[in-house]
Amino acid sequence: MKDILTAPFMQEMIHTCTNMYAHGWDERNGGNISLLLDEEEVKEYLDVFKIIRKIPTGFYTKELAGKYFLVTGTGKYFKNVERDPENNLGLFRINEYGDGAELLWGYSQGGRFTSELPAHLMSHEARLRVDPENRVVMHSHPTNLLAMTYVHDLDEKAFTRTLWQMSTECIVVFPDGVNVLPWMLCGTNEIGEATAEKMKTARLVVWAQHGIYGCGKDLDETFGLIETAEKAAEIYLKIAHLPLKQTITDEDMHLLEERFGVKGREGYLS
């Protein structure tokens, strides 16, 4: 059996965690990632019948029963993932009843998955119904997006249009826009349910005064979604206090739609 630390999905998870910390998105133990895996790719590296221990999830999911996930640990620092992946990450299967996790690798010092796992699982459910290729849920605290929620209207159309106008690539990268939740208590099923509802119509959900949730088909795409929105928010904060002399118009964005074969969210452009 192959060494799991050499698995492409493991290498990419380690690299992504390291990169997110380097970007300043995941201070201390802030942020979390869950990656949905196929059983066949897991079997190359682990005996899927060898369960290390069972961990309650605090959430029932019929749709994800039997699915495999690689997930960051609760209380773990992204900066330490590269140095000690087996302690800071865990690979588990949702049990056949959908209410617990069967740990197959990781959390080596008695740890467990992120406290926001229910929110992740709810978002996985929601996105898989929209696009079966969506396999990643990523949560982080990008500085500029977080700051933007203090000074910008939280109306989703207004928030999205501002980000689209900040950079030519934005409508191309996230044509479905950005959904926004007002401040809610984190680590609860309530915020998980609200986030999952928002995931039905967009792959990016901003948590006001907290951070962002992103979904995508792989770690690269999901990282890129957040990175692009964060860059747009940075530009907005640099110019928001200045008189605008020009911007990317709706007409310009329609040209981008035509050129790149995308369609901006219905009703968001004139």
- For residue 218, what pLDDT is reported? 97
Which domain, by its residues, includes 99?
A: 1-114
Q: Does one domain contain both 142 and 39? A: no
State how far the Cα of 70 lies from the Cα of 36, in Å rounded to an integer. Answer: 7
**Is residue 45 a contact partner of residue 2, using CB atoms and an 8 Å limit?**
yes
11 and 88 inside one domain: yes
Give the separation between CA 34 and CA 215, rounded to whole angstroms. 10
Q: Provide the CATH number for the domain around residue 229.
A: 3.40.225.10
Residue pair 179/201 in contact by the 8 Å Cβ criterion: yes
Judgement on whether residues 87 and 159 belong to the same structural domain of the protein = no
Whether residues 239 and 128 fall in one domain? yes
Torsion angle in degrees (nearest 10) through CA of 90, 93, 94, 97: -140
242: left (phi over 0), alpha (psi -120 to 50) or beta: beta
| Per-residue pLDDT at 58 | 86
CA separation (Å) from 227 to 20, 92, 131, 220, 222?
A: 10, 28, 21, 10, 9
CA angle 195, 217, 124 (to 5 degrees): 35
pLDDT (tens place) for every residue of the chain, 270 residues total: 899 999 999 999 999 999 999 999 999 999 999 999 999 999 999 999 999 999 999 889 999 999 999 999 999 999 999 999 999 999 999 999 999 999 999 999 999 999 999 999 999 999 999 999 999 999 999 999 999 999 999 999 999 999 999 999 999 999 999 999 999 999 888 999 999 999 999 999 999 999 999 999 999 999 999 999 999 999 999 999 999 999 999 999 999 999 999 999 999 999
Q: Measured between alpha carbons, how far is 227 from 162 in angstroms, rounded to an integer?
A: 16
Domain C-terminal end among 91, 114, 137: 114
Whether the model clears a pTM of 0.85, i.e. scores above it, the answer is yes
Is 159 in the same domain as 102?
Answer: no
Active-site residue list: 116
Number of structural domains (the chain) is 2
Residue (of 233, 229, 240, 250) closest to 169 by Cα position: 229
Facing residues of 178 across strands?
A: 204
Return the pLDDT at 1.
Answer: 82
Whether residue 270 is contained in a domain is answered as no
